[in-house]
Amino acid sequence: MILALDDFYVLVGLLFAATAIMNLRDRSNPLRFTSALFWGLYALLYLAGGRTPPAVTGLLMVAMALVAGVGLVRGGKANPPPEDARRASAARLGHRLLVPALAIPVVTMIGSTLLKDVRIDLGAYSAPLLDPKNLTLVSMGCGSIVALALACWLTRATPLQGVREARRLIDAMGWAVVLPHMLAVLGLLFSEAGVGKAVAHITTSYIPMDSRLVACAAFCIGMALFTVVMGNGFAAFPVIAGGIGIPILVGVYHANPAVMAAIGMFSAYCGTLMTPMAANFNIVPAALLELPDKNAVIKAQLPTALPLLLANIVLLYFLMYR
């Protein structure tokens, strides 16, 4: 294949490596050495994670957790352009500023639909243009590169300025950037440890699963609650799907696995809206906006999350055989 998911992992790793180097050179940051160590370890996970033994990868993640856990990760001093220059640039560009952001979903859709069967044939060499196993992710990576190019063209900035802005945003979010990655790994660890089987035993022992409505409600609410605890729907899915979704909804009630998975993840995202554990979604925005209440984002999302969770139960009940 011409473009594979590993190619974009390398780009992400290089971005975090640049963040580590910029933090290391930032003398205004009193924790520049440990901050650079944290981002350097994260860069190493992307650059060499597929070629290192699992035990080494696990040790790197434990080291990152220790560095962040004792408060040794801190953002450096940002040096954005003067406010009057930024306002003048925004007034000059107007709504064209939205073009790079909109390019990401557009290119992703084009890549995952129109380009999915495109192959490059050069004599004896023939390969698909995009990685067929990770088509959507690769297409989104291409969309991000196109968006960066458009942003540089519109603002007359260089790609290096894009890296500086990425570093500024990463520093503002802090260690919460890695939280989805860590929690997704934790979800797989729980699945391997048999937590799904334990969930299945508890639910079948104490919840009357002979009712299809109760089974649908238990699955959707379980996805939301476990996401509230874990902070990530991808961490909740293998546990609840392995404990309720597959053995009960699919095995007993013969539900369509695709419908079960789609609505299950949507239910998990309802939990994401309600938990401070999803720090990069709910706590970091409050900090960036300098809101006096750090839970203000969660409180604003609750009136959406709870009715949406109820709607998911109804949808799963009526659509599970589609």
Residue labelled with tokens 């300025």: 161
> Does residue 184 belong to any structural domain of this protein?
no
- Regarding whether 50 and 154 lie in a shared domain, the answer is no
> Does residue 188 belong to any structural domain of this protein?
no
Instruction: Give the number of domains in the chain.
Output: 3
- Regarding whether 130 and 22 lie in a shared domain, the answer is no
- Regarding whether 59 and 35 lie in a shared domain, the answer is yes
Q: What is the pLDDT of residue 1?
A: 59
Domain membership of residue 217 as a residue range = 194-319
- Regarding whether 127 and 103 lie in a shared domain, the answer is yes
Rounded to 5 degrees, what are φ and ψ at 130? -120, 150
Given a contact cutoff of 8 angstroms between Cβ atoms, the answer to whether 16 and 8 are in contact is no
Q: What is the pLDDT of residue 147?
A: 94
Give pLDDT tens digits for 160-188.
Answer: 888 988 888 888 878 878 877 777 777 77
Residue 316: partners with Cβ closer than 8 Å, 6 or more residues away: 216, 219, 220, 249, 255, 259, 260, 263, 264
- Regarding whether 221 and 136 lie in a shared domain, the answer is no
> Does residue 280 belong to any structural domain of this protein?
yes
> Which one of 31, 47, 69 terminates a domain?
69
Radius of gyration of the chain (CA): 22
Give CA 159 to chain center in angstroms: 24
Give pLDDT tens digits for 124-161.
Answer: 777 888 888 888 999 999 999 999 999 999 888 899 88
> Does residue 231 belong to any structural domain of this protein?
yes
- Regarding whether 170 and 224 lie in a shared domain, the answer is no
Q: What is the mean pLDDT of residues 313-322?
A: 92
CA-closest candidate to residue 136, choices 114, 109, 118: 109
Q: What is the pLDDT of residue 200?
A: 75
> Does residue 222 belong to any structural domain of this protein?
yes
- Regarding whether 167 and 97 lie in a shared domain, the answer is yes
Q: What is the mean pLDDT of residues 196-221?
A: 85
> Which one of 174, 206, 223 terminates a domain?
174
- Regarding whether 308 and 206 lie in a shared domain, the answer is yes
- Regarding whether 137 and 59 lie in a shared domain, the answer is no
Q: What is the residue-averaged pLDDT of the chain?
A: 87
- Regarding whether 155 and 56 lie in a shared domain, the answer is no
Structure-block tokens of residue 321: 């055989």
- Regarding whether 57 and 88 lie in a shared domain, the answer is no
Position 225 confidence tier, pLDDT thresholds 50, 70, 90: very high
> Does residue 75 belong to any structural domain of this protein?
no
Residue labelled with tokens 């040096």: 79
Percent of the chain with pLDDT over 90: 41
Q: CA–CA separation, 58 vs 56, rounded Å? A: 5
> Does residue 185 belong to any structural domain of this protein?
no
- Regarding whether 281 and 221 lie in a shared domain, the answer is yes
> Does residue 12 belong to any structural domain of this protein?
yes
Res. 196: pLDDT tops 80 = no
Res. 39: pLDDT tops 80 = yes
Res. 78: pLDDT tops 70 = no
Q: What is the mean pLDDT of residues 188-212?
A: 79
What letter does residue 134 receive in the DSSP assignment? G
